[in-house]
Amino acid sequence: MQSRPLGRTGLEVPILAFGASSLGAEFRSVTLDEALASVRAALDCGLTLIDTSPFYGRGMSEVLLGIALEGVPRDDYLLCTKLGRYDLAHFDFSARRVVESVDVSLHRLRTDHLDIVLCHDIEFVPLGQIVEETLPALRTVRDAGKVRFIGFSGYPQKIFRSICDRTDVDCVLSYNQYTLQNTRFATETLPWLTERGIGAMNAGPFSARLLTDAPLPAWLKEPEPVKAAAREAAALCRARGTPIAKLALQFALADPAIATTIAGSANPANVRAWARWAAEPLDEELLRDVRALFAPVRDIGHVEGLPENN
């Protein structure tokens, strides 16, 4: 698996990382065998950066990862987890909870250190707390040797400058905003991050199943014109003999300014397919035609979090 530097951290990360949200049964019921097999497939295929959170399965994802990684040399993989979001509407970014959350994650993951810890979905809380309380507490934990690098994740592009203009972080994670349909992360934020040496991570290349052949879930928040364009694009890809998911993943991996793109599944066959796709050339003609279909709805998304953070 090809790798890229994560900003100025000194970490070399695979361009495709394994997202473990599915291990928390966030999208469907998952068996223990499926969870363990998907992690093994990820490591076998070179997806050696693993992303999780205490929010995923309300701890289940971290617990299953700890089991799956037992016996694997710690130097063979990188762990990224998060803190601050613990349920759909439960956020706690207090300094006290920072310390507790890191210690609980270490216990669940059966390790003595975390490579990256991100403040999770900060758009749902006042950003002043993240700058003045959460990140300083996380730096103290880092100084104690429990965490190597710190940052935050979120959806609105506004939050990245809002935080990074006021304090220092090592890396950030944007989700669902660098895809075939929505490239706001690249146009509005990536050049700015690159100038500052802040590592850029991307999650959600399939945009919550929008860019797959699967039925669209009822909870998908994108507007109806976006969904209609996605169905048309998927049909075009099928007619050309390429799943739209393949094109979506390859597109997300192609930008050299993005260190890694995170995709997750508890199905090991999916993980192996993604690794194959990552090594295959991008169909530039198909990409051009699909992006033309998305042109009328390009960069149209939805509001996420507090109004003042959008």
Q: How far is CA 187 from the centre of its chain?
A: 18
Task: Indicate if 155 belongs to the active site.
Answer: no
Q: What is the largest CA-CA distance in the chain?
A: 55
Strand partners, 147: 114
**Burial status of residue 171 (CB atoms within 10 A of its CB: 0-12, 13-18, 19 or more):** buried
- Structure tokens of 91? 């956020």
Neighbours of 233 (CB within 10 A): 24
Bin 285: left if φ > 0, else alpha if -120 < ψ < 50, else beta. Answer: alpha
Q: How far is CA 157 from the centre of its chain?
A: 15
Given 56, 77, 155, 178, which residue is catalytic?
56
- The span from the CA of 42 to the CA of 62, in Å, is 16
- The span from the CA of 83 to the CA of 62, in Å, is 12
- The span from the CA of 9 to the CA of 263, in Å, is 22
Q: Return the H-helix or E-strand segment holding 50.
A: strand 49-51
- Structure tokens of 174? 């944007």
Nearest 10 degrees: Cα torsion 244, 152, 105, 55: -60
Catalytic residue numbers read: 56
